[in-house]
Amino acid sequence: MNLKKIIPEIFGNAVAQYGFTLDPSSSNGMWVYSRVKKDVKQELHVQKNRFSEAFYLRYTTSAWGVRTMDAKNVIPMGKYKLYPYGISASYHDVESLKLILHEFVEIVEEYILSELDRLSVEEKVIPSVEMADKLLSSHLELSEKFAKQCGVGIADNGVDDVEKLFDVINAIITETRNLPYEGVQDQLVDITAFLGEKLKRKHDGAWMIGGDNRNIMITGLGNMMPAFTPLSLVVESWKNQDITQLKVLYLAALKNEFPNFG
């Protein structure tokens, strides 16, 4: 069965009318069709199950925080005969595969196209590439600067030290709540540098950046919480004017334990 011919002929040609083309990220067993709308990349994934004769239909966008999702997120349960649960569709010959692909096109047209547009609205208060670049290049200097500001050393991890640190962070977040986001980014980067460097030194971890060039991570923190994303957490804390999640996850990473939101 020539999947490399059948899928582009049926699914690829159908979604081409909406501006989707075969993406270079396509690999053996997964056909990715993408388009760009208002600087946001939208993707449709037709993916073969590695262990059975079945296919999945998934979708995603490049907007911040959007993950790859199954069609089950948008289609009514049981509406589509060949894809009743929106998770996988099994085939046994060429004709049954073609029926599945036609059904996938119907799902895209009726539900996923509008969902892709909804998921393409980029939030304004998100980490920027510039903030991430600054952290990667200058986190050591920035962390030392913030240590002087808050009066807590990078190696100070006692209970009182943590409480003092988050009192300072909370004060900064509260005092800057009425500033435009652009006017507070440098302070948020300073906070991020300090938190990240403390965890890195505590666990002999490493600074890393995600595939979107702005999701900064501290890795190598232990088996309970192997990675910490300080930049996104700090930005989210400022946006929501609430440091609870940041503090709980930082403590979990510091102690190598599961987060306790109780």
Tell me the domain boundaries of the chain.
Answer: 3-118, 129-255
Say yes or no to pLDDT of 225 above 80. no
pLDDT of 11 reads 97
Q: CA quadruple 165, 170, 173, 174: dihedral positive or negative?
A: negative
Say yes or no to pLDDT of 140 above 70. yes
Say whether pTM exceeds 0.75: no
Question: Token pair 């990667």 is at which residue?
Answer: 136
Average pLDDT rounded to a whole number, residues 200-219? 86
Say yes or no to pLDDT of 50 above 80. yes
Average pLDDT rounded to a whole number, residues 252-258? 89
Q: What is the pLDDT of residues 57-103, one digit of tens each?
A: 999 998 877 888 898 888 887 788 777 766 778 888 999 999 999 99
CB 107 within 8 Å of CB 80: yes
Could you give the CA distance from residue 209 to residue 227 in angstroms, rounded to a whole number?
11
In 66-158, which residue ranges form alpha helices assigned H by DSSP? Answer: 94-107, 113-118, 129-150
Beta bridge mates, 90:
54
213: which 2 tokens? 């060039």
Say yes or no to pLDDT of 213 above 70. no
pLDDT of 211 reads 65
Tell me the CA distances in angstroms from 255 to 36, 125, 252, 261, one per residue in order.
43, 29, 5, 15
Q: What is the pLDDT of residues 152-193, one digit of tens each?
A: 998 888 889 999 999 999 999 999 999 999 999 999 999 999
Say yes or no to pLDDT of 210 above 80. no
Going by pLDDT thresholds of 50, 70 and 90, the confidence category of residue 28 is: confident
Could you give the CA distance from residue 232 to residue 126 in angstroms, rounded to a whole number?
7
CB 193 within 8 Å of CB 142: yes
pLDDT of 121 reads 85
CB 212 within 8 Å of CB 62: yes
Could you give the CA distance from residue 203 to residue 32 in angstroms, rounded to a whole number?
38
